[in-house]
Structure 1
């Protein structure tokens, strides 16, 4: 039976000729929630509460720029023909590995300027990052992107999904795997894992590296289901290659830092009493 299903309007609100898109609002909302979480934790770690507000002023725009550059590079065949669309980030097209690259480079410089340990900052930020990613995937939902291959409506109903998700996965006459949802759930679960690991008192740096390993592991498998992956070659998905590289690099970092004695400080060392 043919269905007429209207997708969610991508525009959240309009102010005359200016549109605020759901995609941007969701990304910013996730970033602000993550910032609030990090600011609360920074006081317990004996850091100025506003240190992360200062960091985000630099990291957020730089991360968005890197995310877009990363995406455009691997879609250059299209953007070379449509250069005016390079700046149209409200349509989607922000690569998560570009976000991580921009954020990490910004934190490295910021930590050196402020005289604060990079690992201390990233350990505090780890739960905020994965929470922001979990929320941000819903921007992909509104834009009807980051989905998997075609499925039937019956399949989606068997997942006990609400109608608003099922209907939004109906794109140009076909239903698709809601891989945005799978990753969002994986990341929300990772948030609770990381929040629990704070109490385990891991060595400094290992909370952040655990985040990288956890996120990359899930991303590797979920990426294999997607139909809009950025490709390195005809058969190699960039996100899967990056996921493997990040997992191996994180494990190597953990081993080297322990062997060299760089990880003797614990996450809960010098914590303010509660």
Structure 2
């Protein structure tokens, strides 16, 4: 699991940065890609600028590579780590609080977020004592609630065959779409079917539709018999042999030689030298 996590973290960071650069390109390529941006800032990840959808996509690619490398079954691995990802997102959102970023529209609610008036993220067209919707808190609470609900459902119904993964995405997008709609930070917007919305909103809508479709498919094709359920619970592929196991079970050279001699005596010419 440590090796899988390492691949996921590396690919997740790369994906998170790439998604941010692609969806907020003005700083790096200039307005309308006019070349006035600073390309060197693409690599300045320490200055901020990562996106959760890119992290999820990149992390998923990293997990896929790790599963291929270490003989793990992707559906079982994805179901195992999905609640942990949602928990990590709940914790990670608090970084927005400390950075005073990605907050929502002005609010008069008792839990309104106070932002320093001289902070570069403070809107220029509002009074200095304005409070804002703490979108980081909304999403953090939503994600924590999702972790609890998904684990309770899994305890009762055993979410296998990718069901936990797709349930996680369905839950996350159901919260992300309305929360995204009240954020004030600058972002690209797209008009689809006459509806204008931010890039992250459309990404969430697309992922919601994909996740619902695949969740229904996973439910229909879920393991039903005890044998099928046991098979679905396996983390390692049946054809996988670890390097340690291979080293502990060397090939008997005398057996190999005897097999080659027997093949030669039988006149097998299925693999001629060309």
Same fold (TM over 0.5): yes
Other-structure match for 2:55? 99
1:189 shift after superposition: 0.8
Q: Give the direction of change, closer, same or farther, for the CA distance of 1:267–1:127 in structure 2 (3 Å limit).
A: farther
Aligned with residue 198 of structure 2, among 234, 237, 256:
237
Task: Extract unaligned runs of 5+ from structure 1.
Answer: 1-51
Q: Distance in 1 between matches of 2:210 and 2:230?
A: 21
Contact 2:104 2:132 in 1 (8 A): yes
> How far off its partner does 1:83 sit?
2.6
Asked if structure 2 preserves the Cα contact closer than 8 Å seen for 1:212 and 1:247, the reply is yes
* Separation in 1, partners of 2:197, 2:115: 28
Alignment check: 8 A CA contact 1:212 1:250 kept? yes
Secondary structure at 1:73 match in 2: helix
SS, match of residue 77 in structure 2:
helix
| 1:194 partnered with 2:150 | yes
- For residues 110-121 of structure 1, what are the structure 2 equivalents within 5 Å? 110-121=66-77
TM-score (norm 1): 0.69
Does structure 2 retain, via aligned residues, the 8 Å contact 1:119–1:205? yes
Say whether residues 1:61 and 2:18 are aligned partners: no
> What is the deviation of 1:270?
5.4
Provide TM-score, normalisation by structure 2: 0.69
**Map of 2:216 onto structure 1:** 255
- Structure 1, residues 44-80: CA drift from partner, whole Å, max 9, x if none? xxxxxxxx21111111021111101110111112212
Query: 1:225 corresponds to which residue?
Result: 182
Alignment coverage as a number of residue pairs? 210
Distance in 1, matches of 2:5 and 2:104, equals: 32
Within the candidate set 46, 49, 58, 1:90 is matched to: 46
From the superposition, tell whether residues 268 and 198 of structure 1 become closer, same or farther in structure 2 (CA, over 3 Å): farther
Aligned to 1:29: none
Superposition pairs for residues 121-160 of structure 1, below 5 Å?
Answer: 121-151=77-107, 155-156=108-109, 158-159=110-111
SS of 1:55's equivalent in the other structure is helix
Give secondary structure in 2 for the equivalent of 1:233. Answer: strand
Could you say which structure has the larger radius of gyration?
Answer: 2
5+ unaligned residues in a row in structure 2: which ranges? Answer: 30-36, 123-127, 235-274
* Residues in 1 aligned to 2:85 and 2:8: alpha-carbon distance in whole angstroms: 12
CA deviation map 1:150-178 (0-9, x unaligned): 23xxx24x23x7xxxx4447654343211
